[in-house]
Amino acid sequence: MNNFIHKHWCGEYALARAYCVNGVLIGFLAYVIAIVAGAGAEAIGEDRESILPVIYFFLIVLNVWQTVGIFRSALRDGGYFAQVAIISLAFEWMRMIAVIRSTFH
């Protein structure tokens, strides 16, 4: 597991794998887990807002790991898809900041 995390962080995976598997698939699974954790907190009587900082911290750490790995893979591979991937990373961070800002505003 540590080797997987390290290889992605260093950009050693092909851009397609880094983006599709480590970015999209793992990101989707993380958001599903966050939704289930929020619903589980409500089911046991906890206020959903009390667990949000922990969930957002986890998602931000995951997003940093995904972004660095995909960015490094894009720099290594180059080409049109690499440019599109880098632009999509910027849009992902804008989306993430907007969601967090709207939640705590």
DSSP string of 39-82, one letter each residue: HHHHHTT--HHHHHHHHHHHHHHHHHHHHHHHHHHHHHH-SHHH
pLDDT tens string 5-15: 999 999 999 99
Q: Across the chain, what does the average pLDDT equal?
A: 89
And the tokens for 104? Answer: 């705590």
Contacts of 88 (CB under 8 A, 6+ apart): none
Q: What is the pTM of this model?
A: 0.86
Domain holding 51, by residue range, is 2-104
Distance CA 63, CA 52 (A): 16
For residue 95, is pLDDT > 70?
yes
Domain count, the chain: 1
Please compute the mean of the pLDDT values over residues 77-103 and round it to a whole number.
91
Distance CA 23, CA 85 (A): 10
Give the model's pLDDT for residue 48: 67
Distance CA 5, CA 22 (A): 10
